[in-house]
């Protein structure tokens, strides 16, 4: 360990360039994708299944977060100068937390429903109604709200410093680390374990059953690919580097400095940007959950390729 009276100040230039760029891209793609998802839900409202109820709430959680991104773009582009007040700062950070753990919660519910539908088809057929699903949705919202509510208690801004912390100030950093670790275990670790168990059993069932519907296998494979993408890119790096960065902040306050602290900080900012990207990747769940919507996309892509081929043939010399 290298002991110093003070640590070198963090260079925030990377944050000021990286996060606004990511937020603008996520806002654009996420708004487009989620509007497409809402349209799909609206068009298929009467034949909406249980899984689609979770998809609808996943979409609503994404839109709630997307509308806060322009304020964060202004904040980081203005070199971390927050001008919207303490209450709105907490609201923006709270919406991110709701979106993150709401997404994880609803994706977990979708995984459990897929597991029950494939592994225990006859046992649960007709027993899980839409009323049950709505009750589960309400329970997920309540649990996510209670899980994110403590984050509102921690200080996010100073009266003399226009900073909107995504965690909290150094005065409360040790308490926040305990909360962050608990939130990681409850809101991320347990759902991840549930999904791994569900899809592990589903994979075993699909491989061992010879009479399994091919379309069912493809649907399951699609969802597994999307969930793997979401957790690998968005959720795992965020939780790892967020807690590591909190630990390094505590060490720096105690005068323990290492050269790799700056690398952890940059990794944490990348993790923040990747976590935000879940609002742009989640719409893939709507797309790949609907065979009709997927078929329309394939047809439109095929027509586009044919039109391009015809145009090239007309332009080419004889």
Average pLDDT, stretch 175-184? Answer: 96
- The dihedral of CA 246, 81, 93, 95: what is its sign? negative
- Domains, the chain, ordered by start: 13-303 (1.20.1070.10)
Residue 312: its pLDDT value, please?
Answer: 54
Q: CA–CA separation, 270 vs 234, rounded Å?
A: 10
Q: What confidence tens digit (pLDDT) does each residue in 118-135 have?
A: 788 778 877 888 888 999
- pLDDT of res. 266: 94
Asked if 2 contacts 255 with a C-beta cutoff of 8 angstroms, the reply is no
Q: What does the pLDDT read at residue 298?
A: 45
Give the tokens for residue 42.
């609206």
pLDDT (average), residues 149-164: 85
* Average pLDDT of the chain, as a whole number: 83
C-alpha closest to that of 89 among 167, 24, 183: 167
For the segment 22-43, the average pLDDT, to the nearest whole number, is: 87
SS3 state of residue 155:
coil
- Judged against a pLDDT cut of 50, whether residue 315 lies above it is answered with yes
pLDDT tens digit string along 269-313? 999 999 999 999 888 776 665 545 444 544 555 565 666 555 555
CA distance 299 to 146: 44
Distance separating alpha carbons of residues 68 and 46, to the nearest angstrom: 32
Q: For residue 256, which phi and psi values (nearest 5 degrees)?
A: -100, 115
Structure tokens given for 120: 């225990």
Rounded-to-integer distance, Cα 33 and Cα 66, Å: 11
Per-residue pLDDT of 46-98, as tens digits, reads 665 678 888 889 999 999 999 999 999 999 998 888 999 899 999 999 999 99
User: CA-CA distance, 58 to 30, in Å (whole number)?
Assistant: 12
Task: Read off the pTM.
Answer: 0.85
Per-residue pLDDT at 46: 65
CA–CA distance, 103 with 281 (Å, rounded to integer): 11
């Amino acid at each position: 360990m290298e002991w110093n009276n003070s640590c070198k100040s963090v260079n925030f230039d990377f944050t000021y360039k990286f996060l606004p760029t990511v937020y603008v891209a996520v806002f654009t793609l996420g708004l487009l994708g989620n509007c497409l998802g809402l349209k799909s839900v609206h068009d298929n409202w009467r034949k909406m299944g249980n899984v689609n109820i979770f998809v609808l709430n996943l979409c609503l959680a994404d839109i709630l977060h997307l509308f806060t991104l322009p304020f964060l773009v202004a904040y980081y582009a203005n070199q971390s100068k927050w001008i919207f007040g303490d209450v709105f700062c907490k609201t923006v950070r709270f919406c991110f937390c709701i979106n993150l753990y709401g997404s994880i919660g609803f994706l977990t519910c979708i995984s459990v429903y897929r597991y029950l539908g494939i592994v225990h088809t006859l046992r649960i057929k007709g027993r899980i109604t839409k009323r049950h699903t709505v009750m589960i949705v309400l329970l997920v919202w309540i649990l996510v709200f209670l899980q994110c509510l403590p984050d509102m208690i921690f200080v996010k801004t100073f009266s003399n410093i226009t900073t909107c912390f995504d965690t909290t100030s150094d005065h409360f950093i040790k308490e926040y680390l305990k909360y962050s670790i608990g939130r990681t275990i409850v809101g991320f670790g347990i759902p991840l374990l549930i999904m791994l168990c569900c899809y592990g059993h589903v994979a075993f069932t699909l491989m061992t059953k010879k009479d399994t519907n091919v379309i069912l296998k493809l649907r399951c494979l699609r969802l597994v690919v999307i969930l793997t993408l979401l957790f690998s890119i968005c959720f795992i790096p965020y939780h790892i580097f967020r807690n590591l960065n909190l630990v390094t902040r505590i060490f720096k306050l105690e005068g323990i400095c290492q050269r790799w602290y700056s690398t952890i900080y940059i990794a944490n900012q990348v993790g923040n940007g990747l976590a935000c990207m879940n609002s742009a990747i989640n719409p893939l769940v709507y797309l790949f959950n609907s065979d009709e919507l997927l078929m329309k996309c394939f047809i439109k892509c095929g027509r586009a390729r044919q039109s391009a081929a015809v145009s090239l043939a007309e332009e080419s010399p004889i």
